[in-house]
Amino acid sequence: MPATPQIVDSHCHLDFPDFAEELPQVIARAQAAGVTRMVTICTRLANAPQVRAIAEAHDPVFWAGGTHPMSAAKEPMASVEDLVALAEHPKFVGIGETGLDYHYTSDSAAVQQDSLRRHIEAARRTGLPLIIHARAADEDMARILTEEHRAGAYGCVMHCFSSGAALAAAALDLGFYLSMSGIAAFPKSAELREIFAAAPVDRILVETDAPYLAPPPHRGKRNEPAYTAHTARVGAELFGLSEAEFATRTSANFDRLFWKAARWQQAA
Strand, helix or coil at 80? helix
Query: Tens digits of per-residue pLDDT, 9-43?
Result: 999 999 999 999 999 999 999 999 999 999 999 99
Query: Tens digits of per-residue pLDDT, 76-129?
Result: 999 999 999 999 999 999 999 999 999 999 999 999 999 999 999 999 999 999
3 — pLDDT class (breaks 50, 70, 90) = confident
Work out the average pLDDT over 216-226: 96
Helices vs strands, H then E, count in the chain = 11, 8
Residue 160 CA to residue 35 CA, distance in Å, equals: 17
Residue 139 lies in a domain: yes
pLDDT at 268: 61
pLDDT at 32: 96
The CATH number of the domain where 135 resides is what? Answer: 3.20.20.140
pLDDT at 217: 94
Residue 93 CA to residue 1 CA, distance in Å, equals: 35
Residue 84 lies in a domain: no
Q: Contact at 8 Å (CB) between 160 and 213?
A: yes
Residue 81 lies in a domain: no
For the chain, the average pLDDT equals: 96
Residue 35 CA to residue 247 CA, distance in Å, equals: 10
Query: Tens digits of per-residue pLDDT, 39-90?
Result: 999 999 999 999 999 999 999 999 999 999 999 999 999 999 999 999 999 9
pLDDT greater than 90 at residue 2: no
pLDDT at 262: 96
177 — pLDDT class (breaks 50, 70, 90) = very high
Q: Contact at 8 Å (CB) between 178 and 158?
A: yes
Residue 182 lies in a domain: yes
Residue 83 lies in a domain: no
pLDDT at 212: 97
| Domain boundaries, position 258 | 7-76+90-267
- For the chain, give the percent of residues with pLDDT over 90: 96
pTM: 0.96
Residue 85 lies in a domain: no
Residue 145 lies in a domain: yes
The count of structural domains within the chain is 1
pLDDT at 265: 72
Residue 176 CA to residue 207 CA, distance in Å, equals: 16
**Rg of the chain, C-alpha, whole Å:** 17
Q: Contact at 8 Å (CB) between 156 and 123?
A: yes
